């Protein structure tokens, strides 16, 4: 369990640094109309975006290791703290001073994470039916369908709408990661490839991951990054936490349920209060 918590915090660090690099690259690239996948091609020409995506990939692997041993509500609340990492890095390297509200937000995040970590119980394996795996894949596809008209919304409305889609898509990747069958240890994954390719959760993971990257990149261009990031945090934390509790057998330590709820609420609220630190000013 301690290794799982360490992996989750390391994932938040990777996501925090990666988000800064991706925001700089996205806001330095020509804007697109609608849900244009060619944006990803243009962004991949930027070394900052490539490094940011690489850090996201490393963060995903760390989060994947964490969700195999910890409840989703624990992992997702820790991952949401990437905004606290972004805020600190922005203050140090990007000359984005921390206001009194930001310091309070950081304190709330730290307190929430401490409570979540204290209430965490080691994950217990639960059999996942084919219907549940297909359900996550269908949900990812429906999010892609919904993103098409929402991508036509201008300004902050478009940023908020696409940030919500991106958050739900990132949440779907977390749920799909938890549903992946077999043992995913590096020394055993080779023998599990056939099982993974037969699982709808694998394809849900790919579809949701690509959709999340595309919609969040467009949201960063569409308007205020705060408008894009706040709904992303809510979508990627609250929905997976509920799915984990209802379908996947997640639970807190006996008698610590109220501590888990309070810690989760504080960590998410604190992260949302720090959403403005996704804002990166790009010099001409």
Cβ burial 90-121 (10 Å sphere, 16+ → b, else e):
beeeeebebeeebeebbebbeebbebbbebbb
pLDDT of 276 reads 66
Instruction: Report the sign of the C-alpha dihedral through residues 184, 53, 272, 84, in that order.
Output: positive
Say if residues 179 and 136 touch (Cβ distance below 8 Å): yes
182 contacts 197 by C-beta, under 8 angstroms? no
Closest CA to 175 of 139, 217, 215: 139
| Residue position matching structure tokens 């994932």 | 11
Global pTM? 0.80
Q: Quote the pLDDT of residue 262.
A: 92
How high is the pLDDT of residue 16?
Answer: 83
Contact 241, 76 (CB under 8 A): yes
Q: What is the pLDDT of residue 39?
A: 74
pLDDT given for residue 191 in this prediction: 60
Give me the DSSP letters along 200-242.
HHHHHHHHHHHHHHHHHHHHHHHS-HHHHHHHHHHHHHHHHHH
Q: What is the mean pLDDT of each run of 10 residues along the chain (284 residues)?
A: 86 85 73 69 82 89 86 87 79 74 88 87 69 92 94 84 92 90 62 78 92 85 71 87 85 87 90 68 47
What per-residue confidence (pLDDT) applies to 155? 80
Yes or no: say if 254 and 132 are a contact pair by the CB < 8 Å rule. Answer: no
pLDDT of residue 94: 62
Q: What is residue 265's three-state secondary structure?
A: helix
DSSP secondary structure, 105-129, as one string: HHHHHHHHHHHHHHHB---------
CB neighbours of 201 closer than 8 A, spacing ≥ 6? 128, 133, 136, 137, 176, 177, 179, 180, 181
Q: Which residues contact 40 (CB under 8 A, 6 or more apart)?
A: 213, 214, 217
User: How much is the pLDDT for 10?
Assistant: 93
The answer to whether 260 and 197 have CB atoms below 8 angstroms apart is no
Token match 């993971």: residue?
A: 205
């Amino acid at each position: 369990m301690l290794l799982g918590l360490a992996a989750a915090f390391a994932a938040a660090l990777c996501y925090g640094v990666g988000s800064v690099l991706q925001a700089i690259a996205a806001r330095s690239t020509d804007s697109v109309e609608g849900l244009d996948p060619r944006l990803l091609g243009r962004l991949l020409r930027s070394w900052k975006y490539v490094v940011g995506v690489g850090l996201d990939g490393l963060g995903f692997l760390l989060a994947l290791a964490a969700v195999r041993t910890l409840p989703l509500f624990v992992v997702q609340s820790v991952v949401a703290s990437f905004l606290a990492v972004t805020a600190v890095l922005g203050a140090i390297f990007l000359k984005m001073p921390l206001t009194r509200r930001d310091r309070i937000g950081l304190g709330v995040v730290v307190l929430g994470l401490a409570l979540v970590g204290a209430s965490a119980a080691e994950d217990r394996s639960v059999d996942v039916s084919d219907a549940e795996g297909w359900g996550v894949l269908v949900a990812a596809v429906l999010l892609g369908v919904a993103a098409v008209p929402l991508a036509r919304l201008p300004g902050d409305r478009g940023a908020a709408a696409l940030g919500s889609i991106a958050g739900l898509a990132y949440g779907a990747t977390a749920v799909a990661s938890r549903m992946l069958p077999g043992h995913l240890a590096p020394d055993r994954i080779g023998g599990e490839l056939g099982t993974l390719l037969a699982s709808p959760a694998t394809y849900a993971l790919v579809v949701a991951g690509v959709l999340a990257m595309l919609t969040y990149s467009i949201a960063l261009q569409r308007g205020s990054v705060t408008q894009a990031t706040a709904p992303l945090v809510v979508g990627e934390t609250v929905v997976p936490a509920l799915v984990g509790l209802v379908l996947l057998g997640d639970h807190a330590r006996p008698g610590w349920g109220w501590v888990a709820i309070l810690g989760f609420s504080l960590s998410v609220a604190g992260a949302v209060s720090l959403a403005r630190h996704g804002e990166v000013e790009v010099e001409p």
